[in-house]
Each structure stands twice: as C-alpha cells, then as structure tokens.
C-alpha cells in the first residue's frame, strides 16, 4: 500500500481519488504527529467486508474446507453429460 502525507494528499486529491477508484488499491495517508488513515474505494470496502464475513462464519468456512478436501481427492459428484450441458449453457 502506498503512503503519502496528508498535505500531498490534499493538494492532489482528485488524482488520488481517481487512482484509488481505478486501481482498487487503498492509500495510507500519514499525518505529522504519526497518525494515519486509509482511503479506499467503496467497492474495495464492500469486498473487504464480504471477505471478513466469510472468514468469521465458522459454518461457511467448514463447508469450504470440506469442499476443498473433496476437490483435492477428486471424490466429488460428477454430473452426467446432460447436466454439464445445462451448466455450461448458463
């Protein structure tokens, strides 16, 4: 994550906002006294919130872990050709 002083951020606000939104990369803004804050796009913030929700959901994480084990063992359900055609047609 790039870091920039609050004064530089203020002077180039439009440029930084455009960069944050287009690149989906947050920027750390530092202040003289050592305090800092992070600026990120709304899309990035929403994705981060979704990730945190999933990581905190023990039931969902258990399902993901079980699915990964099944996948790695190649022991999961194999759809028939007709079902694969329906899936691929979506």
State whether CATH 3.40.1620.10 applies to domain 2-40.
yes
| pLDDT tens across the length of the chain (90 residues) | 899 999 999 999 999 999 999 999 999 999 998 899 999 999 999 999 999 999 999 999 999 999 999 989 988 888 899 998 988 887
Region of residue 15 (phi > 0: left; psi between -120 and 50: alpha; otherwise: beta):
alpha
Q: Where are the domains of the chain?
A: 2-40, 44-76
Give residues with Cβ within 8 angstroms of 74, minimum separation 6. Answer: none
pTM above 0.85, yes or no: no
Across the beta sheet with 2-5, the strand order is: 2-5, 27-30, 36-39
pLDDT value at position 74? 86
Q: Which residues contact 43 (CB under 8 A, 6 or more apart)?
A: 21, 24
């Amino acid at each position: 994550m790039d870091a920039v002083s609050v004064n530089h951020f203020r002077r180039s606000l439009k440029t930084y906002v455009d960069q944050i939104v287009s690149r989906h990369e947050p920027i750390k803004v530092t202040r003289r006294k050592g305090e800092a804050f992070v600026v990120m796009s709304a899309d990035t913030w929403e994705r981060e919130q979704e990730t945190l929700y999933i990581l905190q959901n023990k039931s969902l994480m258990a399902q993901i872990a079980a699915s990964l084990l099944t996948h790695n063992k190649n022991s999961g359900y194999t759809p028939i050709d007709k079902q694969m055609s329906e899936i691929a047609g979506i």
